[in-house]
Structures are given as C-alpha cells and as structure tokens.
C-alpha cells in the first residue's frame, strides 16, 4: 500500500557545498525520510525514504543511529540548515487565549496517555491562532536530535495545517486534505482558510483508511463527491489506497508547494507531493 522506498541523489550534489544546502528530515514512528536542497538555487539534490520495520522499532534509537551511520550524506556532513520534522499521533491545537504555558502536559493528558518517559513540546503558530502541543518518547526525540543536531524541530502537523489553510484562503473554498505516511493518515478540513477538523488515524487496510477519510467528511457535514480531496505523502494514482478513495471522492488532487525546488534529471520523475510535508517544515 505504501510507496516503494527511494534513495536518489543528483550528480549536482557535492559534499563540499553543504554550507549552501538545507537538510529536512521527517521521522518519529515507522519511517525515515529526508530531502536535501540547494538553498541558493532552490534545487532538489537528494531524496531518501526508508521504512523502519516493526522489529527495528523495539530499539528505535539504535536503529536510527545505524541508518545515519550507513548514509554518506548524513554520517559526517554538517549542513548549514537542518530541520527535523517529528511525526507523532499524540497532538492537539490549543487556541492562544486558552493556553497556559506553565503546564502544557495538562492539555494532552485530557486526550491521551502521557507517561513520565514522554516529552511534551509546544509550538506557537500565529497563522493557526494557537499552540500546537505534541508528545514524543524522550529517548527517541533525544536520540534523533543528538545524532542529527537540527537547528529546529517541528511537528509535521504545524507546517501542513499552515500550508493547507493558506491554499484554502487563496482559493476561498472548502476541502479535505490528507497526508499519508506509513500506516497513518493525518486529515484536516478547511473552509476559506478556517480549520474545521483535524485528526490522525492509524490504519492497516485500505478500507480502514477510507472509513477514516469519510469520517472527516461526515464530521463537517460535507458530501464527498462535492468537496475536493488533496493528498500528499506516500500515495500515488496507482496505489490501492488512491483507488479506494476515488470510489467515493471524484475530485482528488495532489498537494502543490507554492515555490517547489527545481529537479535535476535524476529526480525529475519524482512526484513533488511525495515530499510535500518536508517542504512545509521550512
């Protein structure tokens, strides 16, 4: 169901040019994905996508370290800008007037189980009008940040919700947007830029994913064949998941970044929606 793993590097990539490059990474659960861009030319130089198998998730820090050690572009090269995108299903958005910074854990503890082994972080998004809170296992988050040394760490939801809201405002329409990564959906609904619904769902079959997608339409009181669906992440027109969605939603579009990087020949055939979440981290 997921898109095949990728490991593509352009001949235009040169380690000595790393001072002009930006590394954007997405991880946290069962995937490890990154892109490298030349910021001066806004050119995509590398894309890699790997699945972290269930057996390897038991010792996630060691698995991530092994993956980084095996990658020449990550092992010993320091980039001028490294952004880490974190993927976690335990998150919530708190309106700014209701947010108390003295106890951010309290908001998530009302929704899900937060343990002593978890870290809770808060990010302010002015365009969303609130604080995005997320929880992650401390040992995993520390391992990733210690090994990758990012300048910033963001939950992927913040960038996605901001980008989807901006598109909704620009087009002045209503739409469902969905990111697919591994066995999870991140789904949101917007009307003229206003966020009406968002949630994350774990699925094992295409039928499960379809159920959660239609649930988002139902929660908004929308008819699937009248409201467009925007997709990004690990999904293509040829996937089983896409075919299931298309049975109920006729207007399916892929997310487009406003100023996507140009692609050298080696990456020209790579659909930009596959790494849309990574572009939204900046």
Looking at residues 30-49, what average pLDDT do you find? Answer: 96
Residue 3 confidence (pLDDT) above 70: no
The whole-number pLDDT of residue 63 equals 94
Give residue-wise pLDDT tens across range 155-170: 999 999 999 999 999 9
Looking at residues 46-50, what average pLDDT do you find? Answer: 95
Residue 105 burial (CB < 10 Å; 0-12/13-18/19+)? Answer: middle
What sign does the dihedral 163-165-170-176 (CA atoms) show?
positive
The whole-number pLDDT of residue 101 equals 94
- Helices 138-148 and 60-69: angle between axes, nearest 10 degrees: 20
The residues facing 125 across adjacent strands are 130
**Residue corresponding to tokens 């697919």:** 180
Instruction: For residues 205 and 189, give the distance between their C-alpha atoms in angstroms, rounded to a whole number.
Output: 22
The whole-number pLDDT of residue 4 equals 64
For residue 72, the 8-state DSSP code is: H
The whole-number pLDDT of residue 219 equals 97
Looking at residues 233-252, what average pLDDT do you find? Answer: 96
What is the average pLDDT value for the chain, to the nearest integer?
94
Give residue-wise pLDDT tens across range 93-142: 999 999 999 999 999 999 999 999 999 999 999 889 999 999 999 999 99
Give residue-wise pLDDT tens across range 52-94: 888 888 899 999 999 999 999 999 899 999 999 999 999 999 9
Structure tokens at 212: 């959660």
The pLDDT-based confidence of 1 (bands split at 50, 70, 90) is very low
Q: How far is CA 94 from CA 24, 50, 112, 134, 179, in A?
A: 26, 33, 15, 11, 21
The whole-number pLDDT of residue 282 equals 79
Residue 198 confidence (pLDDT) above 70: yes
The whole-number pLDDT of residue 182 equals 83
Give residue-wise pLDDT tens across range 243-282: 999 999 999 999 999 999 999 999 999 999 999 999 999 7
The whole-number pLDDT of residue 127 equals 87
**Residue corresponding to tokens 């793993």:** 5
The residues facing 279 across adjacent strands are none
């Amino acid at each position: 169901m997921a898109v095949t793993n990728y490991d593509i590097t352009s001949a235009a990539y040169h380690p000595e040019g790393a001072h002009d490059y930006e590394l954007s990474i997405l991880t946290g659960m069962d995937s490890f994905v990154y892109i490298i861009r030349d910021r001066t030319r806004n050119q995509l130089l590398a894309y890699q996508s790997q699945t972290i198998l269930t057996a390897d998730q038991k010792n996630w820090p060691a698995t991530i370290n092994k993956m980084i050690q095996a990658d020449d572009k990550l092992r010993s090269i320091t980039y001028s800008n490294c952004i880490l995108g974190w993927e976690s299903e335990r998150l919530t958005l708190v309106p700014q007037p209701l947010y108390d910074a003295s106890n951010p854990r309290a908001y998530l503890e009302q929704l899900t189980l937060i343990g002593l082994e978890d870290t809770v972080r808060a990010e302010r998004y002015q365009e969303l009008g609130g604080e995005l809170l997320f929880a992650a296992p401390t040992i995993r988050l520390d391992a990733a940040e210690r090994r990758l040394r990012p300048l910033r760490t963001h939950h992927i939801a913040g960038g996605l919700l901001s980008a989807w809201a901006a598109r909704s405002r620009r087009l002045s329409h209503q739409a469902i947007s969905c990111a697919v990564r591994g066995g999870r959906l991140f789904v949101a609904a917007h009307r003229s830029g206003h966020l009406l619904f968002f949630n994350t769902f774990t699925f094992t079959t295409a039928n499960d994913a379809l159920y959660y997608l239609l649930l988002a339409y139902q929660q908004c009181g929308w008819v699937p064949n009248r409201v467009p669906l925007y997709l990004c992440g690990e999904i293509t027109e040829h996937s089983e998941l896409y075919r299931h969605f298309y049975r109920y939603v006729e207007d399916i579009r892929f997310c487009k970044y406003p100023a996507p990087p140009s692609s050298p020949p080696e990456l020209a055939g790579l659909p930009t929606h596959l790494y849309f979440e990574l572009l939204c981290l900046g």
